[in-house]
Structure 1
Amino acid sequence: MDGSSLAVVPVASLDRGGTPYEVTLELRRDGDSFGAVGERCGYFLADLAARLVAARADGSPQAAGWPDPDDRFPDPPPHADGVRDPELFAFRYRDRGDVASTGELRCALRTSSVWIEREHAGQGFWRLGRRAVVEAWGSGGRGVRAVLTSAELSGFLDELLTEAERAGASYRDHLGTRR
Structure 2
Amino acid sequence: MKNDQTTNNGKSVLGPGTKAPDFTLKCTPDQSVSLSDFRGAPVILAFYPADWSPVCGDQLALYNEVLPEFRRFGAALLGISVDGAWCHAAYAKDRRLHFPLLADFHPKGETAQSYGAYRHQDGVCERALFVIDSEGTIRWSYLSPIGVNPGADGILTALEGLAPRQQASTREASRS
Q: TM-score range by the shorter chain?
A: under 0.3
Per residue, is there more strand in 1 or in 2?
1
Task: Provide the TM-score with structure 2 as the length reference.
Answer: 0.27
Higher-Rg structure is: 1
